[in-house]
Structure 1
Amino acid sequence: MDSYFSLTNPNLVASAICFLALLGTLFFYRKSRSHQEKKTMATSSLTLLAPRNWKYHVFPSFHGADVRTNFLSHVLKELRSKGIDSFIDNDIERSKLIGPELVEAIRGSRIAIVLLSRNYASSTWCLNELVEIMKCREEFGQTVMPLFYELDPTDVKKQTGDFGKVLGKTCRGKEKEDIQRWKRALTQVAQIAGFHSAKGENEAELIEYIATDVSNKLNLSAPCSDFDGLVGMESRMAEMRRVLQLDSDEVRKIGILGPPGIGKTTIARSLFNRHSQDFQLSVFMDNIKKKYVIMACSDDYSVKLDLQKQFMSQLTNDTGIKIPHLGVAKDRLKDKKVLVVLDDVDQLVQLEAMAKETSWFGPGSRIIITTQDENVLKASGIDHIHRVNLPSDDEALQMFCLYAFGQKYPKNGFKKLACEVRSLVGGLPLGLRVMGSYFRGMSEQDWREALPRLKIHLDRNGEIAGILKFSYDALNDEDKRLFLHIACFFSGEPVDMVERCLEKCFQDVRQGLRVLSEKSLIYSKSGLIMMSTLLFQLGRQIVQKESISEPGKRQFLNDAIDIGEVLSDDKAGNSSVIGIDLEWNKDITWTSERAFERLSNLEFIRILGKGVNPLSMNYISRKLKVLIWPMFPMPCFPSRFNPEFLVNLFVRNSNLEKLWEENKLLLKPGEAPFLYWECN
């Protein structure tokens, strides 16, 4: 989703962005640190870290007389404030050689901070520490962060200047082998991108930046356990690795194919979390079918430019990236080993914009596409396809029990009942999750009473539809209404925006969202309210059946034919419609200029397709809370368009220059202004 701004003046938005960009440069202490370097240092060398038993987060190597009581003490204090444990060597007796206790501390730390100061090389202790640190970096990928304190990195690299003189004194009378080890270690550490503190700079800000960077590196290196314990995941990972061939330098595109709700995204996410650190750059673009349709409201070339911009922005962590033509991705990535996951692809144009050819990517790159449409994969020339099969009966029972009992096996007295539900539900993971959530916390008697009703639903509606409808029917009327609002309009929208839009429509919208989440009917991801495809379709089918022959009597209109029928009718009369959502690849023939006049209850509009006449907004309902209309064709709204309760206005990539020709008071005295605005 695009972000939203609370500013109602586009010029103010631009000014704010410029100010933030300028402010960001004040904190840029690193020299020549590209995004690729940062990611490589943070993650590429951490492949082997997860299995180790770490004793400390950070090992600091330093010359005490230079920094212990000033700069270093502040660094350690800031690290402690962020919950980062550092090794402190106060109790260790120093000698010419570092002892086993110190070696153990170095090797037991995730990150080594080498604080290089003017007299660092005066201590053979420090130099031997550095040799051991660089050895750990080479042997098992320990992260090393050099910090040049009032010192030129070039002097460390080449052992010149005052630093070189200090080293020269230390080397007098020492073994040649020791001198070579010290110099080699100094040269190596000076070539690692790090921090540089010069005299006169704001040390407090630098120390905060260092501590934040250490914290981020620790987070990136932390072993992922998000998918630990998932039933059947290890066997699926083994199957996927055979397809991925990660040891090969071949650039390979892989399709993960299967129906909705079978676990394609979960498999792709698990792969990404386990292997992204092995690549220079990586990106997981989730829910493409839903999230990126707003940008696809023009010709194919414009669609591809928008998609490639989003793709490159996320992959390179550059929000201001410019994509003047479609050759940018190939030019930037042809020598990079990248891992790309494109989740829930449903259009060939999406692949052509973000991963058309394997030649776009460097050796060893992997592009993973999840989809339910095999034709999309074939049209893109993808030969390596993994079809996701249903779990075995035993795996299905374990999945169900995880949601019903919080463990992989039934509670005492429930085994027969759990097996019966498993048999009724089948093996689709989504159905197992929804039904497990439904039965969670019920007594044995409740289970026995619910099973006959579930069988009836399955007989009437078919297997998966009956399962999902059964869970929906068990909701109270208020929660059913909220479910339908999300399915027909708000799936994929920010949680806070949904709460604001619906706060006066429901007694307690937050409680309702919690109920739907507990029942596994919705879930939250990155601040967005999400709903699986099958549940999304179920909600729309329920609304469509409210009035099959007269769409104007339904709450929501999502089908282009139905929308066209209602908007082409300019006859007087009331309507039950509160929301209209015209998808980007759907068009209607025409609309009456008085089309919205009879839609007096309309609250939510999303126009992504074509054919809606903007002049019809002269008569639009004042109850309107959401207006999403990219590519809005007019320079301003009609003068009679005067919504008083607008919460979200999204008109990006439109011709809109101003809201109205004249000034308008949208709100009643004392009311808060609308929260979400995005213009050009």
Structure 2
Amino acid sequence: MASSSSASLLAPLSSCPRSWKHHVFPTFHGADVRTNFLSHIIKELKSKAIDLFVDDDMERSKLIGPELVEAIRGSRIAIVLLSRNYASSTWCLNELVEIIKCREGFGQTVMPLFYEVDPTDVKKQTGDFGKVFRKTRKGKASEDIQRWKCALTEVAQITGYHSTNWKSEAEMIEDIVTDVSNKLNLSAPSSDFVSLVGMESKMKEMRRLLQLDSNEVRKIGIWGPPGIGKTTIARSLFNRHSQDFQLSVFIDNIKTKYAIPASSDDYSVKLYLQRQLMSQLTNETCISISHLGVVKDRLKDKKVLVVLDDVDHLVQLEAMAKETYWFGPGSRIIITTQDQRVLKASGINHIYKVNLPSNDEALQMFCMYAFDQKYPKDGFKELACEVRRRLVGELPLGLKVMGSNFQGMSEQDWTEALPRLRFHLDRDGEIASILKFSYDSLNDEDKILFLYIACFFSGERFNMVERCLEKCFKDVRQGLRVLYEKSLISADSIWIKMPKLLVRLGRQIVRKESVSEPGKRQFLNDANDIGEVLSDDKAASFEIGIFIAVLERTFERLSNLQFIRILGRGVNPLSMNYVSQKLKVLIWPMFPMSCFPPRFNPEFLVVLHMTNSSREKLWEENKLLKVRGFSGQHQLGIYYTSQPLRLLFVEKLSCESLERLDLSFRNPDIRINFRNCFKLNEEARDLIIHTPTNQYAVFPAEEVPMCFTYRSSGSSLTLKLNQMPLGKSTKFKACIIFASNALTACYKPVKGISPGHLYTFEVEVETEDVTSNELVFEFEYELESYNSRRWKIVIKECGILPLLEPSDKEI
């Protein structure tokens, strides 16, 4: 008998169904509860459309057969009704063993009901319950007895219902049935997020971070700008995986619902937040939290899934999920936030950065909300593309709200709605209210920096923005870091970008500074507003302007104008004679004159960007152009008369006709790009190489110049240490030349990689711990192509030039 019992109970769990056959499986001792307490529970459960496995027609024996095992494994919830004589039945005990096995094997929910019996007596098999068990175990196989004891101990430690805690059985039954219903609702398979564009790929990436098969307790951050879909990703994860945990909770919109009062003390805030967590996690509305150890005490042995959505203060995390040891093995804590600093301060290393969707995905998202399909309806393609591209950008919140706004509209309705939406983020203000919450959380200086980027600098180079605004802020780099960590901009080492809807928010905020008098605003972006200001005789104080058409003397009274972008061909180029001496940035594609007008000579210029212009020289006469940052394109040519051009902060200068240089500076660290300047003479090339502040340079060259002390073919070079003295560290100027066929393996040209050009850069070697008598330099360059394949670029030659320390130079 023992062997057959063991065979039945130890059937492999791999055969357990994942599509549930029953909602609830009840295990009970019939003589104790069938006609009273249990009958009422069954009636209430059925009244709420909850399906139970009923074994009335089964012939009970000492063993549970395959049909019963299948019923247990096919039930989402197992109710264990523990009464005084429950342990008198080996049938009940064997059912319990199978239930505990299913709980541990695939997360079946187990709800113990202690009916007129103490949980401690069940756990330790003592009292009246223990007497019954000891009688049952007589003559049974020791392995069966041990299994029963383990199952009773395990079930007694699961949070359940104790009949002595309720005034009446009716109230207890009502609470039990409500709890069962809620658990079933939470565990019901969801298709809410199945059709969302790009969600499956996000789930795949998130599961790699979650490591759900691991028993470690792991905290995971989901980080990104407001409206990008962090909450949606977290909800999708929760819906898919909450049933695999003993307890689970999704606490949404913490930033708004549980905002931290400025005058509150941390301890009170933490007690309050812990009470919210435990109340929602255990479904106890009147739970009492007297100290901060309650979470750890209640959850340290529970496998839980906790989602803390939209966290914006560290104290929120410290209250609800400070330490991983507060939770049982296998627990997962997911935090969504737009503030990276909260995650870093909490020591969370597993972070999923939510990026904007691609253009194609963004259009599909918009169409799903506007047309209930992933592509525009007939006749709406141009309108849908215009709204998506010009008004919304790629932010999912905007795509959802704007798409829903247009749902069911005719083409004429769309056309009539567009002009108003160009000035307002959305019809009902939903987008603006969500995004502005993030702007309002900034301090005053960071708010101003946000507006600078929204109105002018989104899409510009990081170092250009830093130099342009360094005099306007105490620490512009720190301000940019704050905006990045709060997900209001994206930034790499080169570019700063802001989502289009945040750009529109910033410009809308500036517009509201003075709706009726545009000239009083700090920045102007709209052509109509600029036209109104320029037609007025009053002086205007704005710093930023984007111009489409102006007359010759238009800029004369705009004394504070520092940042200019010219669009179109309606601006008189002679107007540059009257531009403010404060000018820092001039961006004018297709500048129509062959040279600057004579009175244009800015003293504080940082960026001069004139792509596709007609310029052939700077001025008719010789002048020194002081440019702190210079950006240009292939068509820009500079010719010289008697004096060479001095450039005081060259960033990029592609001039096919450039021959001579005078880099007369020593202090600023510079990066020089002379790509395609094939006429550079040898003196100019040597000057570029030997410029001590030159961090990086590019210019045409077919071979490594002789001034490099050590040269080699290929990508490797060995330097004998006995050939030169070494300090604790030694700096070198290094160079590489790409082979002419370096990019033949790629399917399209790669920006920034030019065969037939010399690339120079500095290398510092820590030589203090070097034990060999030689240094080996290995140069390697890889890039990732459009199809995510990595390509190694072929290096034709390389070179090394030791850089002497100042003391060595003096000697």
Letter in 2 for 1:120: Y
- CA offset at residue 394 of structure 1? 2.8
- CA offset at residue 343 of structure 1? 4.8
Q: In the alignment, is the contact (CA less than 8 A) between 1:348 and 1:376 conserved in 2? A: yes
Q: Could you report, residue by residue, the CA deviation over 1:532-584 in whole angstroms, capped at 9, with x for unpaired residues?
A: 98998788667655556999xxxxxxxxxxxxxxxxxxxxxxxxxxxxxxxxx
- CA offset at residue 72 of structure 1? 1.4
Q: In the alignment, is the contact (CA less than 8 A) between 2:24 and 2:51 conserved in 1? A: yes
Q: In the alignment, is the contact (CA less than 8 A) between 2:94 and 2:148 conserved in 1? A: yes
What is the distance in 1 between the residues matched to 2:307 and 2:405? 32
Of the three residues 405, 408, 423, the one matched with 1:438 is: 405
What is the distance in 2 between the residues matched to 1:170 and 1:329? 38
The structure carrying a bigger strand percent of its residues is 2
Of the three residues 170, 174, 177, the one matched with 1:204 is: 170
- CA offset at residue 409 of structure 1? 3.7
Q: Tell me what 1:308 maps to.
A: 270
Does structure 1 residue 102 correspond to structure 2 residue 57? no
Q: Could you report, residue by residue, the CA deviation over 1:160-212 in whole angstroms, capped at 9, with x for unpaired residues?
A: 55555555665566666555544554444444443344699632222223223
What is the distance in 1 between the residues matched to 2:322 and 2:361? 37
What is the distance in 2 between the residues matched to 1:200 and 1:257? 44
Letter in 1 for 2:97: V
What is the distance in 2 between the residues matched to 1:342 and 1:429? 21
Identify if the C-alpha distance between structure 1 residues 421 and 304 changes in structure 2 by more than 3 Å, giving closer, same or farther: same
Identify if the C-alpha distance between structure 1 residues 193 and 401 changes in structure 2 by more than 3 Å, giving closer, same or farther: same
Spell out the pairing of 1:429-508 with structure 2 (5 A cutoff).
Answer: 429-444=396-411, 446-447=413-414, 449-450=415-416, 454=418, 469=424, 471-472=426-427
Does structure 1 residue 215 correspond to structure 2 residue 166? no
Report SS of the residue matched to 1:144. strand
The structure carrying a bigger helix percent of its residues is 1
Does structure 1 residue 428 correspond to structure 2 residue 395? yes
Spell out the pairing of 1:34-183 with structure 2 (5 A cutoff).
Answer: 52-159=18-125, 163=129, 166-167=132-133, 178=144, 181-183=147-149
What is the distance in 1 between the residues matched to 2:265 and 2:338? 22
What is the distance in 1 between the residues matched to 2:124 and 2:322? 46
- CA offset at residue 441 of structure 1? 0.9
What is the distance in 1 between the residues matched to 2:364 and 2:516? 41
Mark the structure with the bigger radius of gyration. Answer: 2
What is the distance in 1 between the residues matched to 2:296 and 2:119? 34
281-290 or 438-447: bigger deviation? 281-290
Q: Greater relative contact order: 1 or 2 (C-alpha under 8 angstroms, separation 6 or more)?
A: 1
Q: In the alignment, is the contact (CA less than 8 A) between 1:431 and 1:468 conserved in 2? A: no
What is the distance in 2 between the residues matched to 1:266 and 1:174? 54
Q: In the alignment, is the contact (CA less than 8 A) between 2:187 and 2:239 conserved in 1? A: no
Letter in 1 for 2:275: S
| Superposition RMSD in Å | 5.2
- CA offset at residue 111 of structure 1? 1.7
370-379 or 307-316: bigger deviation? 370-379
What is the distance in 1 between the residues matched to 2:92 and 2:355? 57
Letter in 2 for 1:432: L
Residues matched between the structures, number: 440
- CA offset at residue 295 of structure 1? 0.7
Q: Could you report, residue by residue, the CA deviation over 1:260-302 in whole angstroms, capped at 9, with x for unpaired residues?
A: 3322333344445555677788776654555555611x3xxx4
What is the distance in 1 between the residues matched to 2:194 and 2:435? 30
Letter in 2 for 1:311: L
Q: Tell me what 2:731 maps to.
A: none
Spell out the pairing of 1:494-643 with structure 2 (5 A cutoff).
Answer: 544-546=513-515
Does structure 1 residue 233 correspond to structure 2 residue 199? yes
- CA offset at residue 52 of structure 1? 1.7
Identify if the C-alpha distance between structure 1 residues 413 and 73 changes in structure 2 by more than 3 Å, giving closer, same or farther: same
What is the distance in 2 between the residues matched to 1:165 and 1:337? 33
Identify if the C-alpha distance between structure 1 residues 220 and 50 changes in structure 2 by more than 3 Å, giving closer, same or farther: farther
Q: In the alignment, is the contact (CA less than 8 A) between 1:309 and 1:321 conserved in 2? A: yes
Q: Tell me what 2:743 maps to.
A: none
Q: In the alignment, is the contact (CA less than 8 A) between 2:106 and 2:244 conserved in 1? A: no
Report SS of the residue matched to 1:469. coil
Identify if the C-alpha distance between structure 1 residues 271 and 306 changes in structure 2 by more than 3 Å, giving closer, same or farther: farther
Letter in 2 for 1:150: E
Q: Could you report, residue by residue, the CA deviation over 1:53-99 in whole angstroms, capped at 9, with x for unpaired residues?
A: 21222112223233222221112112223332222222233344333
What is the distance in 1 between the residues matched to 2:166 and 2:302? 38
Identity value in percent? 72
Spell out the pairing of 1:356-375 with structure 2 (5 A cutoff).
Answer: 370-372=336-338
Unaligned residue ranges in structure 1 (runs of 5+): 1-47, 458-465, 473-478, 493-531, 552-680
Identify if the C-alpha distance between structure 1 residues 168 and 231 changes in structure 2 by more than 3 Å, giving closer, same or farther: same
- CA offset at residue 331 of structure 1? 10
Q: When the two structures are superposed, what TM-score results if normalisation uses the length of structure 2?
A: 0.44
Q: When the two structures are superposed, what TM-score results if normalisation uses the length of structure 1?
A: 0.51
Letter in 2 for 1:443: S
What is the distance in 1 between the residues matched to 2:212 and 2:18? 23
Q: In the alignment, is the contact (CA less than 8 A) between 2:16 and 2:74 conserved in 1? A: no
Q: Tell me what 1:266 maps to.
A: 232
Q: In the alignment, is the contact (CA less than 8 A) between 2:112 and 2:160 conserved in 1? A: yes
- CA offset at residue 106 of structure 1? 1.8
- CA offset at residue 395 of structure 1? 1.5
Identify if the C-alpha distance between structure 1 residues 195 and 283 changes in structure 2 by more than 3 Å, giving closer, same or farther: closer
Q: In the alignment, is the contact (CA less than 8 A) between 1:49 and 1:141 conserved in 2? A: no
Q: Could you report, residue by residue, the CA deviation over 1:194-249 in whole angstroms, capped at 9, with x for unpaired residues?
A: 33446996322222232233233333433454433221122223334445566678
